[in-house]
């Protein structure tokens, strides 16, 4: 078992790309499974985050929460710098109101779930990013309506329901975190607890593969049907991910963050909250029907970017 786990960790990038390709193939060949798989996204993602949280000792989370310099940089990058970048990029789709709203929804909201997994894979400070997750979630709940009002007009605000933010926070942060804490406590006292923890940690690569495959398979057919309308958003999403790397590195250098924290800031700046804001986009009026697909398109672009970033970011932000 240990040799199989080690093999999976050595070849994880190729396995993740294979999972994305398999998900795309299944989703295009069997589009009827899209809805059941969409329902499965949150449970699968919750399991992945449970395994991720298990690998972070809770004492480290407590210390990370007191790292005010890191928290300040993450907040400045996501809620001051990112909106400026997003406003500039979104002007390329400003002529299409539904597409504009979808782009704004997804790019203005920092990721709080699988970004922690990718950060850990790249040697980043996942404990500090985990500690920042509640603040990032609260920040986007408060600031998203303001930015939508500024960038898309006041009439959009009445159509936005923020309840999915609360649901996602409870299901994808609080519940997996509580379960991981209980498992860590049990593992320090019982044999079965240690076995549960070891099995969950060993399942990290398969769980990531499953998450990637489920997300892609559930969304790829819907995107393919509207690809001509969505095509202009793809370079915007790719440009956003690329631009946020040097900007995040620069902000971290100015603040004199260490290597692990800098990598965490890069992933936080480049990764967006697509799985959480998708229900918000789906709740919009029919005239904004393209907005959810714009959110989904960002997910597909981002997953490929994140898999590549796991290999590239450690080379860009080298250990000192």
What are the backbone dihedrals phi and psi of residue 129, each rounded to the nearest 5 degrees, phi first?
A: -70, -35
pLDDT at position 25: 95
pLDDT-derived band at 119, boundaries 50, 70, 90: very high
Q: What is residue 64's predicted lDDT score, i.e. its pLDDT?
A: 67
What is the average per-residue pLDDT within 94-122? 90
Q: Is the pLDDT of residue 162 over 70?
A: no
Does residue 100 register a pLDDT over 90?
A: yes
Are 234 and 289 within 8 A, CB to CB? no
Q: 82-90 and 233-254 are packed helices; what angle lies between their axes, rounded to 10 degrees?
A: 160
What number is the average pLDDT over the span 197-214?
86
- Domains parsed from the chain with CATH numbers: 14-314 (1.20.1530.20)
Whole-model pTM: value is: 0.83
Q: Please, where are the H alpha helices in 170-232? A: 175-187, 191-202, 204-225, 227-230
131 — phi, psi (to 5°)?
Answer: -65, -30
Beta strands in 208-319 (DSSP E): none
State the Cα–Cα distance between residues 320 and 317, nearest whole angstrom.
Answer: 9
State the virtual CA torsion across 83, 85, 91, 97 in degrees, nearest 10. -40
Q: Please say if the pLDDT value at position 288 is more than 90.
A: no
Do the Cβ atoms of 113 and 53 come closer than 8 Å? no
Measured CA distances, 157 to 87, 144, 217, 279 (Å): 17, 9, 31, 15
**What is the per-residue pLDDT for 117?**
84
What is the residue-averaged pLDDT of the chain?
87
3-state secondary structure of 146: helix
Q: Give the per-residue pLDDT at 160.
A: 67
Listed in sequence order, the residues at least 6 apart from 199 whose beta carbon sits closer than 8 Å to its beta carbon are none
216-232 pLDDT, tens digit each: 898 889 888 888 889 99
Query: In a 10 Å sphere around its CB, with 0-12 CB exposed, 13-18 middle and 19+ buried, how is residue 39 labelled?
Result: exposed
Running DSSP on this structure, what letter comes out for residue 173?
I
pLDDT tens track for 234-286: 999 999 999 999 999 999 999 999 999 999 999 999 999 887 788 778 777 77
CB atoms within 10 A of CB 138: 12
Query: How do residues 274-284 score in pLDDT, each as one tens digit?
Result: 877 887 787 77
Asked whether the predicted pLDDT for residue 318 surpasses 70, the reply is: yes
Residues, the chain, total? 320
What is the distance between the alpha carbons of residues 301 and 285, in angstroms, rounded to a whole number? 25
d(CA 34, CA 216): 9
Provide the pLDDT for residue 53.
Answer: 80
- Binned at pLDDT 50, 70 and 90, residue 1 comes out as low
| pLDDT the model gives residue 159 | 65
The residue-averaged pLDDT of 21-40 equals 91
Residue 319 has pLDDT above 80, yes or no: no
């Amino acid at each position: 078992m240990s040799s199989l786990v080690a093999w999976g960790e050595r070849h994880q990038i190729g396995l993740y790309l294979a999972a994305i390709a398999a998900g795309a193939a299944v989703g295009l060949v069997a589009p009827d499974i899209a809805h059941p798989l969409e329902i499965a996204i949150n449970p699968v993602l919750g399991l992945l985050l449970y395994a991720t949280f298990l690998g972070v000792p809770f004492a480290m989370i407590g210390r990370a929460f007191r790292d005010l310099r890191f928290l300040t940089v993450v907040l400045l990058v996501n809620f001051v710098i990112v909106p400026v970048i997003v406003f500039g990029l979104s002007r390329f789709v400003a002529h299409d109101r539904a597409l504009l709203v979808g782009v704004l929804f997804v790019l203005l909201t920092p990721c709080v779930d699988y970004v922690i997994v990718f950060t850990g894979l790249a040697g980043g400070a996942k404990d500090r990013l985990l500690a920042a997750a509640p603040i990032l979630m609260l920040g986007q709940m408060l600031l998203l309506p303001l930015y939508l009002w500024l960038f898309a007009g006041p009439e959009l605000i009445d159509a936005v329901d923020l309840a999915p933010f609360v649901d996602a926070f409870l299901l994808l942060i609080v519940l997996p975190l509580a379960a991981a804490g209980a498992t860590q406590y049990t593992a320090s006292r019982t044999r079965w607890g240690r076995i549960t923890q070891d099995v969950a940690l060993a399942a990290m690569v398969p769980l990531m593969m499953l998450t990637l495959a489920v997300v892609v398979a559930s969304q790829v057919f819907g995107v393919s049907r509207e690809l001509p309308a969505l095509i202009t958003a793809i370079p915007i999403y790719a440009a956003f991910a690329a631009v946020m790397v040097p900007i995040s590195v620069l902000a971290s250098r100015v603040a004199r963050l260490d290597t692990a924290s800098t990598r965490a800031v890069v992933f936080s700046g480049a990764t967006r909250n697509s799985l959480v804001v998708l229900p918000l986009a789906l709740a919009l009026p029919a005239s904004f029907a393209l907005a959810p697909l714009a959110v989904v398109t960002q997910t597909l672009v981002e997953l490929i970017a994140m898999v590549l970033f796991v290999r590239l970011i450690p080379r860009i932000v080298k250990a000192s």
